[in-house]
Structure 1
Amino acid sequence: MTSTILKPSAHPLSAYIDILESGKALLPESTENLVEVVGILKSYAIVLDAYSRNLNYIAEKQFLVIFPFFKYFNGEVTRPKLIRYLWHDRINFEYAEYVMRTMLWHGGGGLDSYLDSPEFSSLAQKAIAAKLKGNFFMQGLHKVFPNFLPEQIRMLSYYSGLGQFWRVMSDLFINLSDRYEAGQIKSIADVVDFILAGLVGAASLPITYSVKIGDRDCDIIPASANLTFLADVAVPYVEAIFFRGTAFFGVVSYNAQAHQIPEEQKDFGYGALFADPLPIGGAGIPPTQLMQDMRHFLPDYLQEIYRSSCRGEDDVRVQICQSFQKSMFCVTTATILGLAPHPMNTSDPEEKKANRTYLEGWMDRFSNSRLDWANQPTNRSCQLFPER
């Protein structure tokens, strides 16, 4: 009889492979970790609700509007809302667009492949013809610059795809918070299991996109494209946002001769699992906008943790970023387990080997991430050096 016991992995991060093979999360179990993860995901869910509504509004109602001055207003332009906007007393929808453009730039997955297809090109041209009907000036510009409007529609497709993805994730994280407050979520393992079940349940949801132009409905991403939530949007999102990301202006040099940015996109490591939280709060750092938005919706129990820290709420955006990274390691754990070729509790030797190879591939990506930091005991005291 063939033994089902594999030799220990020789990978430098083998300890985390052991953790995943045992079905545990990449974030250690602790009461404080649980409170931080659930609390920050509740705040994140509220922000994602606003982001997704705006992205979908732009995709559907601002279709090929060349100068969309009021795209962040969701169709409700009033004097009080305009004053709040100018005073910056609002949700930072610019961050949602930053994420969308990051996904667009990195590409990958079924959505990216479809947008390079002849079917998309044909549907885009039909939508352009309908939108420009009677507009001789824009028709002339389209003839002179034939690639401009199709590229805009390509970008709008990412608005819609990301909006649909975040709609699902917002509802999932709100349900997680409700379960926690009802006493049904009691551990980090419960969090991962809940998120995994949510991702699996939504995996085959169709991703479609159409716009109404006059009295005509124009398909951009029809159901026949067979794009789905998990494979075609969620996985490229994890790749582009959790791992690759983009280098923040002012933090590293964009000068090619400085060689501070990898030459290949696949080598980028600026995503949410890699980012140093300390620059958060600095001008030009996009996640600052997300942390600022989440700050407005923190549950009381999470605010109390931040208040009791060394600096109180003076560095609350940094603390929010740290909690957010912890939560993303939980989401990443759920993603890894959900995409594994076989269940982690399999007893088949060949399946175990396949899982081991799969996990080692993931660990290659984590080598410069904040994974080691996330697995250190939380220390919120101001004592930098131990007493002698």
Structure 2
Amino acid sequence: MVNIQNKPINYPLSEYIERLESGGALLPDTPENLLEVVGILKSYGVVLDAYSKNLIYIAEHQFFVFFPFFKYFNGDFSFKKLLRHWWHDRINFEYAEYCMKSMMWHGGGGLDKYLDSTEFKERAQAVIKAKFKNNPIITGVNQLFPDFLFEQLRVSAYTTGLGQFWRVMADIFLTLSDRYDQGEIKSIPDVVDHIKAGLVADASKPITYSVKIRDKVYDIIPKSVGLTFLADTAIPYVEAVFFRGTPFHGTVSYNAKAYQIPPDQSRFQYGALYADPLPIGGAGIPPTLLMQDMRHYLPDYLHEVYRRSRRGEDDLRVQICMSFQKSMFCVTTATILGLMPNPLDTQDPDEQKVNRVFIQKWLDRLKTSRLEDVNDQTNFCLVALPRSV
């Protein structure tokens, strides 16, 4: 997904404020949108399950491995898997690392703050000493470059943090699909409520990180630090991946004189909510890897919709990206409603005013997003089919 400086939204924001206040979503509630969103989140859930397992494996078993050639094998290496890896008949775990690096670069949340703390440095120093006590070369390098190994552990901490976040989200999306199959999910607001309930239920889930060196376990992020799923991984993820993102090489000029990249990271608008789906499939576009992964796990009912579109499967990754973008506006809606300062159904005028200001701030950031596009059905070439159960 590549941002191409989308035009500002030319519809009244009051329409979306009223829709959210009445329990609706940023995405219109239509049978076609419901089928697309649930179907694509089913595929996404399967992929996130694989991503999360690999990220957690890398953090726990590949930390301080400076040339991790086999990190994508999850400890189960074979020559058959290696051949499939070289042939790219595999999950593209590189995209998971791209998202991790985006989170780490943009920062934010308690995890980012903790990794700059004295406590983290003390715990990291203990791990470094234990790991390399018999390695004079690495010990010497660490003395010459005292931040090198600390930075390696920071990367590992973000790796496990994203892995634990995606572990929760994968379960939310897969149970959403199960409930849809059972006839319990019948509308876009039902999708939003399901996601919001999952976010709230796991909001206080602790984010921890421990590694084992020889026979001793070292806590790098102990539970006592107080890092939690929602505040310290979910919100920073939304900020880094949904909103800001990173500009992709070959799509914009990195020349400062061209002014195509804002000098301030907080003004970045390259995230999933702003991205143009059409360049998907181009070389060097990281989300292409995600779309390629999801195409292997599409539910039959959604795959059939894509086959019946104007171009059939010739632009399958683009169609997947369009559906995925719709689903991310549903996740964004769930985030907005979940973080609402006061109950949505409050009758207190002051609380209603606070809620409206809160919603307005979110919508102000979405003015140049693709919100208008996902609300304009003429921009989508999918042909909805009745689903056979």
Residue 69 of structure 2 corresponds to which residue in structure 1?
69
Residue 111 of structure 1 corresponds to which residue in structure 2?
111
Matched, 1:285 2:285: yes
Contact 2:308 2:382 in 1 (8 A): no
Matched, 1:380 2:381: yes
Percent identity between matched residues is: 67
Identify if the C-alpha distance between structure 1 residues 35 and 381 changes in structure 2 by more than 3 Å, giving closer, same or farther. closer
Residue 184 of structure 1 corresponds to which residue in structure 2?
184
Matches within 5 A, 1:251-330: 251-330=251-330
Structure 2: gaps (5+ residues) = 1-10, 384-389
How far 1:12 sits from its partner (Å)? 5.1
Residue 208 of structure 2 corresponds to which residue in structure 1?
208
Identify if the C-alpha distance between structure 1 residues 363 and 205 changes in structure 2 by more than 3 Å, giving closer, same or farther. same
- Separation in 2, partners of 1:381, 1:205: 38
SS at match of 2:197: helix
- Separation in 2, partners of 1:338, 1:299: 28
1:292-328 C-alpha deviation (Å, 9 max, x unpaired): 0000000000001101100001000000000000000
1:173-217 C-alpha deviation (Å, 9 max, x unpaired): 110000000011011011001111010000000000000011110
SS at match of 1:239: helix
- Separation in 2, partners of 1:256, 1:57: 39
How far 1:63 sits from its partner (Å)? 1.2
- Separation in 1, partners of 2:144, 2:12: 55
- Separation in 1, partners of 2:369, 2:13: 11
Matched, 1:163 2:163: yes
Amino acid paired to 2:212: K
- Separation in 2, partners of 1:121, 1:174: 38
Residue 39 of structure 2 corresponds to which residue in structure 1?
39
Residue 347 of structure 1 corresponds to which residue in structure 2?
347
How far 1:377 sits from its partner (Å)? 1.9
SS at match of 1:219: strand
SS at match of 1:220: strand
SS at match of 1:296: helix
TM-score with structure 1 setting the length: 0.94
- Separation in 1, partners of 2:241, 2:158: 14
How far 1:257 sits from its partner (Å)? 1.2
Matches within 5 A, 1:51-62: 51-62=51-62
SS at match of 1:25: coil
Residue 79 of structure 1 corresponds to which residue in structure 2?
79
- Separation in 2, partners of 1:225, 1:182: 40
1:123-166 C-alpha deviation (Å, 9 max, x unpaired): 01111111101011111111011100001100100000000000
SS at match of 2:377: coil
Amino acid paired to 1:119: E
SS at match of 1:91: coil
Residue 97 of structure 1 corresponds to which residue in structure 2?
97
- Separation in 2, partners of 1:324, 1:107: 24
- Separation in 1, partners of 2:367, 2:29: 22
- Separation in 2, partners of 1:193, 1:73: 36
SS at match of 2:322: helix
- Separation in 1, partners of 2:113, 2:19: 35
Residue 145 of structure 2 corresponds to which residue in structure 1?
145
How far 1:22 sits from its partner (Å)? 1.2
- Separation in 1, partners of 2:112, 2:277: 30
- Separation in 1, partners of 2:60, 2:255: 38
Contact 2:207 2:223 in 1 (8 A): yes
Alignment length (residue pairs) = 372
How far 1:106 sits from its partner (Å)? 0.2
Greater mean deviation of Cα atoms: 288-297 or 61-70: 61-70
- Separation in 2, partners of 1:17, 1:241: 24
TM-score with structure 2 setting the length: 0.94
Identify if the C-alpha distance between structure 1 residues 141 and 354 changes in structure 2 by more than 3 Å, giving closer, same or farther. same
Matches within 5 A, 1:229-248: 229-248=229-248
Residue 4 of structure 1 corresponds to which residue in structure 2?
none
Residue 386 of structure 1 corresponds to which residue in structure 2?
none
- Separation in 1, partners of 2:303, 2:259: 41
- Separation in 2, partners of 1:115, 1:339: 25
1:193-250 C-alpha deviation (Å, 9 max, x unpaired): 1111010000000000000011110111001100000011100000000000001111
Residue 387 of structure 2 corresponds to which residue in structure 1?
none
- Separation in 1, partners of 2:367, 2:79: 50
Residue 369 of structure 1 corresponds to which residue in structure 2?
369
SS at match of 1:81: helix
- Separation in 2, partners of 1:96, 1:153: 17
Identify if the C-alpha distance between structure 1 residues 185 and 289 changes in structure 2 by more than 3 Å, giving closer, same or farther. same
- Separation in 2, partners of 1:244, 1:238: 9
How far 1:380 sits from its partner (Å)? 2.1
- Separation in 2, partners of 1:217, 1:59: 14
Amino acid paired to 2:226: N
- Separation in 1, partners of 2:326, 2:112: 29
SS at match of 2:210: strand
Amino acid paired to 2:165: F
Residue 5 of structure 2 corresponds to which residue in structure 1?
none
Amino acid paired to 2:105: W
How far 1:381 sits from its partner (Å)? 7.2
- Separation in 2, partners of 1:285, 1:229: 28
Contact 2:306 2:382 in 1 (8 A): no
Amino acid paired to 2:115: L
Residue 172 of structure 1 corresponds to which residue in structure 2?
172
* RMSD, aligned CA: 1.1
Residue 124 of structure 1 corresponds to which residue in structure 2?
124
